[in-house]
A and B are shown apart, each in its own frame.
Chain A
Amino acid sequence: MAVDAKSSWLIEKARLIDPSQSIDGIRTLWIDNGLVAGIDPVPGQFPQDLPRIDGTGCILAPGLIDIGTELGEPGREEDETIASGCQAALAGGFTSLACSAHTMPPIDSPAAVQFILEKASRLAACKVHVIGCVSKDRTGEQLAEIGSLVEAGVIAVSDAPRPIENTALLRRALEYCSMFGIPLLDQPEVRSLSPYGVMHEGLVQLQLGLPPMPAEAEDLATARDLRLLEATGGILHLVAVSTQGSVELCRRAKHRGLRFTAGVFPVNFHLTDESLRSFDSHFKVNPPLRSQEHVVAVQAGLADGTIDIISSGHKARSLEKKIQEIDKAPFGMISLETTLAEVITYLIAPGILNWSQAIEKLSCNPARLLGLPTGTLRVGAPADLILIDPQERWTVDPELLVSRGTNTPLAGQVLQGRVRQCMVDGQPKMPPMHP
C-alpha cells in the first residue's frame, strides 16, 4: 500500500486520450518532476532509469475535474468531511474539485475560504478549489462580498443547490462577477412551482401521490438565466439540466451564439422516475429523476455538445437523514466514485459519446470554465492524470465506497470501467498497478 512519492515517470502502452490536443492513440507519456515533459519521447531524451508504468489495456487521460462537490465541512461532518470527500474524489478519478458553498456556515467570507484551502492542502489528496456564495449567508437576498472572496481564492460563485430565485439578484450577480472574470453557477429551478416537491411531475408521480416537481420549473429558470446572460454578459454555467425543454433552450441559445456552459449529473442521463416506485429516498435527488423522454433528450444534448460538462453532483447525506419519510429525507446522492463508470456504462458503451467527448466533458471543459491549468496533458501542464481500465465490471456496494455517505442510488448495480491509477502532480495516489 506504500505510496510512491516520486513524481517522474514513463507511462507506456496506454491509449492516451487528450481532447485538448486531439490525441487518441497508444502513446508514451513522460512525466518529469510532476509536469508533463513529453509525449512519445525518443530514447536519450529522458533518463534510462526512469520508473515505468505499463498501461497496456488502459486509457490514459487528464484527471477528472468536479464542479460543486459537497465536502461537508464546515458544519455537515456527519455527511462528509474534506478528507473523506477528497479520498472519494481520487477513488473516482477526480484529481481536482471545486467544492460547493453549501456548508454551515456557508462560504461567504475569506476566513471560510481559507479554512477549506488549508485543511485540504494538509491532506495532499486531490486539488481543492473553492466556490463562494453568490448571496450573503446563501439566503438569496443580498450579494456576498464577491470581491473579497475572489481575493481569498474562490474561482467561481454559486448558491447551488439552492437556485437563485430572485431575478434582480441574479442580474446584479452576473454583472458584478463579470468584473472579476469568474463564472456564476446557477441551478435552474423556479421553486414556487415545486413547493415541497419530491419527484418529477408525471405519470409515476400521479400514481404515487408524491408532491410534484414539474419540468417547467426548470425550463422557465433556464430561459430566464439565459435571457439575463444575454443582457449582462458575464460567465454563466447551468449546474445541472435535466429536462427536454431546458436542453432545447440551451441548444437554441448556443445556435444564436450565446456563450455559456451547461452541466448534467450522471443520474439524469440514465435513471428515470420509475425508480421512485420503491419509495426509496436514495432516488430523491435534485434535479429529480425524470421520465424517459427527458433522459433521452439529455443524452441527445450530451451527444451534440449542448451539454458541455458532466459533474458528479456528489451530496453525501447521513443514513439518519435519508432513512426518514421520503418527503422529509433530504435530496442528494453520492456519486464521486461512480460518475466515470456511469459515463462509460451509459454513454460510451452504447455509443452516445466517444471517449474524447467524454473526457472533454469530465476534464477539459470544467478546467476551461474554472480557468485551471489542468484538464490537459500538454507539455508543461501539471501531471494530473488517470489510468482507466475501461473493461472492468464491478458492483456498486455502498459499504465499500470511500465516501462517508452511503446514499448511492446505484447500490447493487453492475457498472463498467474503473480507475486504476490517479496521479496529482505526477504523484500516484493509488497503490501501484499490478498487471
Chain B
Amino acid sequence: MSGHETGGEPTDWESWSQSWKHHHLLGLELHSAEEIQSILDLAELFAQASQEGRNRLTLLRGFTVANLFFENSTRTRNSFSLAAKRLGADTVEFSSAGSSTSKGETFIDTAKTIEAMGVDAVVVRHATPGTPHLLAKHLSCSVLNAGDGPHEHPTQGLLDILTIRQHRGSLKGLTVGLIGDIEHSRTARSNIWGLQKLGAHVIVCGPATLVSRRWKQLGVETSHRLDDILPRCDVLNLLRIQFERQTMRPFPSVHEYGLLYAMTKERLARSKPDVLILAPGPINRGVELTSEVADGHHSVILHQVANGISIRMAVLWLLLGRRVASESFARG
C-alpha cells in the first residue's frame, strides 16, 4: 500500500517503518545515533512532501492517536495533532483539567480508559519524570513521550537537532551551547543525549544553581559565564526559565538573570558570525532573549516549529507504520 499522495513522486514510506525496531518513543537516551539519523532523514522526506503540497497523506488512515496531556501545552499538542492528521490518522484530545484525574483517578487508569477506546498511540505529557515509561508497561499501544517533567522531551530534541543539521549539514564537530535553566529542562537532557550521539560538543551554561558541577558527569562542558563561551558556540539554544518547576528561586531576580544570560544584540555581535539561535519556546521575550534577537536573521525559531511537525510525522510513522501492511484490510 502506498500513501495515496495528492501530488509529486510516490515515496516508499513502508521500507522506513519496516526496519524500525521500537514500539515506543520514550527518550533519546534509548536510541542509537543511526536511529536518530534515520528519524531525521525521514522527517526531511515528510518536510519535502509538505513543501510539494502533499499535505494529505493517508498512510495512517483508520488509526487513532490520542493526545494525553496531564500538563498544559499548546504548541506541542497542536504539533502532534497536526502531524497525526497529515498522516491521515484520527486524533482524540485529553487534558487533565476538569477530567477524571482531578476526580482522583490514577493516571494509569485514565490512560487505560483512553486506550480501551481503540487508540493506536498515546502522546503523553506529564509533570512527573517516568510517567510515559510506566504507561508503556501498562498499555499495549505505542507511547510517545511529549515531555515528562524535567526528564526528556525527545521530539523537541530531535527537532532542534534537525534544525541544526539543515543549516550546518552535520552535527559532527559543532559546539552547541544550551543556555539557561538546565536543571529543570527536559529539552536540555534530550538535546544532550542526541547531540553527543551525533558528535557535537555540548556546553551547558547558566547560573550555578541551575548548572551544578555534577553536569560534567554527563560528559558536557559546564559554564556560568555566557560571555566566555559565546565566541566558541556554533549554536545557542536558549532554554526557557521553568518558573513552575522551581521550589526556591535559583537566582535573585529576572532582571539579574537577564543581565547575565539574556541573548542581546550586543552579545550577538560578539558571537560567531554564522551563529544559529534556537529557542524551544514558549519564549520569554526579554528574559532569555531580546526581541531583536528572536526576530533577527540568526534566529531559526520558526524553522524549529515547522520541523516539529515533520519530526512528529516521522516518529508516528515509524512506530505505527509496520502495522499498516498487516492491518490495512481490517481498517478499510
Contacts and interface: CB of A to CB of B under 8 A. Distances in A.
A40 interface: no
A276 to B, nearest CB: 9
A209 B186 contact: yes
A191 B292 CA distance: 44
B218 A208 contact: no
A209 B247 contact: no
Given A324-B106, A325-B128, A327-B128, A207 B134 contact: no
Contacts of B107: 324-325
Contacts of A279: 129-131, 133-134
A366 to B, nearest CB: 36
B106 A209 contact: no
A202 B152 CA distance: 17
A323 B151 CA distance: 19
B29 interface: yes
B129 A323 contact: no
Given A208-B129, A209-B189, A325-B107, A203 B217 contact: yes
B189 A203 contact: no
Given A196-B247, A325-B107, A209 B126 contact: no
B216 to A, nearest CB: 10
Interface in A27-63: none
B197 to A, nearest CB: 14
Contacts of A209: 129, 148-152, 184, 186, 189
A206 B214 contact: yes
B257 interface: no
Contacts of B126: 325
Nearest to B212: A206
B151 A208 contact: yes
A260 B126 CA distance: 45
Interface residues of A, number: 21
Given A323-B106, A324-B106, A325-B126, A206 B215 contact: yes
Interface string A190-212: 00000110000111001111110
A209 B187 CA distance: 11
A185 interface: no
B139 interface: no
B202 to A, nearest CB: 14
Contacts of A203: 214, 217-218
B96 to A, nearest CB: 12
A98 interface: no
Interface in B108-130: 108, 126, 128-130
B128 A326 contact: yes
Nearest to B150: A209
A207 B189 contact: yes
A43 B184 CA distance: 74
Interface in A268-327: 278-280, 320, 323-327
Contact of B129 (A202, A210, A320, A328): A210
A207 B189 CA distance: 7
A326 B108 contact: no
Contacts of A206: 214-215, 217-218
A171 B289 CA distance: 51
Interface in B133-152: 133-134, 148-152
Contacts of A201: 214
B52 to A, nearest CB: 39
Q: Which of A201, A202, A209 has the most CB of B within 10 A?
A: A209
A190 to B, nearest CB: 14
Nearest to B188: A209
B220 to A, nearest CB: 11
A195 B249 CA distance: 13
Contact of B130 (A208, A211, A320, A323): A208
A328 B215 CA distance: 26
Contacts of B247: 195-196, 211
Interface in B214-247: 214-215, 217-218, 247
A207 B130 contact: no
Nearest to B29: A207
Interface string A206-223: 111111000000000000
B128 A323 contact: no
A213 to B, nearest CB: 13
A78 B42 CA distance: 51
A281 to B, nearest CB: 9
A326 B218 contact: no
Contacts of B150: 209
B44 to A, nearest CB: 29
Nearest to A279: B130
Interface string B304-332: 00000000000000000000000000000
Contacts of B133: 278-279
A23 to B, nearest CB: 49
Contacts of B128: 325-328
A207 B214 CA distance: 11
Nearest to A196: B247
Nearest to A206: B214
Contacts of B130: 208, 210, 279, 326
A195 B108 CA distance: 26
Nearest to A201: B214
B235 to A, nearest CB: 22
Interface string B174-194: 000000000010100100000
22 contacts: A196-B247, A201-B214, A206-B215, A207-B29, A207-B189, A208-B130, A209-B129, A209-B148, A209-B149, A209-B152, A209-B184, A209-B186, A210-B149, A279-B131, A279-B134, A280-B134, A320-B106, A325-B131, A326-B128, A326-B129, A327-B149, A328-B128
Given A202-B214, A209-B129, 10 more contacts: A201-B214, A206-B218, A207-B218, A208-B129, A209-B148, A209-B184, A210-B129, A325-B128, A326-B130, A327-B149
Q: 4 shortest A-B CB distances, which residue pairs?
A: A279-B130, A209-B150, A209-B151, A325-B128
Interface of B: 29, 106-108, 126, 128-131, 133-134, 148-152, 184, 186, 189, 214-215, 217-218, 247-248
